[in-house]
Amino acid sequence: MTDHLAEYGGKILNGGFSAKLCRRLTECITALEALDKISSPIIPYIAAWCGDGKIIWYEYAGKRFLTLLNCQRSEIAEVFQQSIVDRRLYRYADRETKVEEEIVTRAELRGDQSDLREKVKREGVVEFIYQLALSGEKTIWLKDQAMIEVFADDEICLSIGCLTEVTKEMEQKDLLEKIGYFDELTKLPKRAIMQRIIEINIGNLHRGHINDFVFMMLDLDHFKTVNDTHGHQAGDNVLVSLAEVMRSTKRQEDEIGRYGGRNFMVSPAVI
């Protein structure tokens, strides 16, 4: 069954599994091989594991995957696992007004593989971002998106998906966090960032690029009373709640940030 497949290095097609599984796998490999030949920016792959989820292997891997990991097809699973620094999951919370980040380290992943594969088996999808430390001290980020297909009679699960390199995007995110772009409590831009926005608007106004712009300061009345009566934790909750309301109700082009304490800065879109 593998005569027409280029460089097949998996286990299933030569392993005595059902015709249904082999037919589906052959279809997928053929399609992903064609995709890989057009120099697409995505990296296609097919991973597989038995019902217990303890051992994973790759039935197919795009050529760029092999190049990135600098390994042979038979080594992909092991090298990939050894290269992982952490795995990140992003999900919406609070009625899709806030994105939560869940980070799992390599050490935590080592003891979580069976549970993880059982979870994705139930959900039918995979969507993670992996930080990898490659040879030569190079660090890259790969976004993993896949669909899970279960073949109960064979006790085999297939993860059919693709990897996309998002190194630039993740490095930019980490840089903004490192330089203190966001206020830790409210997750809004800090005072220095908002002041820079104002300076840019003033410059554009003087050069005649805009006709006018608006800037507002918001101050919470009686905030000290909240802290004195209910404690600083309650005060923090008030600030976080206000930030979430502002973030969810502003227009996309508006800018909001925290000036400090109970004060916020708002710079609506230029007029």
Alpha carbons 136 and 203: distance in angstroms, whole number: 44
Choice between 14 and 200, residue whose per-residue pLDDT is larger = 14
The H-or-E segment that residue 89 falls in is: strand 84-93
Share of the chain above pLDDT 90, in %: 46
Q: With CA atoms as reference, report the closest residue to 64 among 148, 149, 134.
A: 134
Choice between 175 and 244, residue whose per-residue pLDDT is larger = 244
Q: Looking at the predicted structure, is the pLDDT value of residue 183 above 60?
A: yes
- Angle at CA of residue 146, ends 143 and 151, nearest 5°: 155
Residue type, position 123, single letter: E
* SS3 at position 61: strand
Q: What's the per-residue H, E or C state across 101-141? A: EEEEEHHHHHCCHHHHHHHHHHHCEEEEEEEEEEHHHEEEE
Q: Looking at the predicted structure, is the pLDDT value of residue 256 above 60?
A: yes
List pLDDT tens digits, range 24-73: 999 999 999 999 988 778 999 999 999 776 789 999 999 999 999 999 88
Q: Say how many C-beta atoms besides its own lie within 10 A of residue 114's C-beta.
A: 12
List pLDDT tens digits, range 73-93: 889 999 999 999 999 988 766
Q: Looking at the predicted structure, is the pLDDT value of residue 164 above 60?
A: yes
Tokens of 20: 């249904």
Predicted confidence band of residue 1 (pLDDT cuts 50, 70, 90): low
List pLDDT tens digits, range 101-116: 888 887 777 666 667 7
pLDDT at 113: 66
pLDDT at 6: 58
Q: Looking at the predicted structure, is the pLDDT value of residue 154 above 60?
A: yes
Choice between 62 and 211, residue whose per-residue pLDDT is larger = 62
Q: Looking at the predicted structure, is the pLDDT value of residue 171 above 50?
A: yes
Q: Looking at the predicted structure, is the pLDDT value of residue 5 above 90?
A: no
Predicted confidence band of residue 127 (pLDDT cuts 50, 70, 90): very high
Alpha carbons 114 and 122: distance in angstroms, whole number: 13
The H-or-E segment that residue 197 falls in is: helix 191-206
Alpha carbons 222 and 228: distance in angstroms, whole number: 10
Q: With CA atoms as reference, report the closest residue to 128 among 175, 174, 162, 82.
A: 162
pLDDT at 66: 92
pLDDT at 271: 47
What domains are defined for the chain?
19-173 (3.30.450.20), 180-267 (3.30.70.270)
Inter-residue contact 223 to 238 (CB < 8 Å) = yes
Alpha carbons 76 and 58: distance in angstroms, whole number: 7
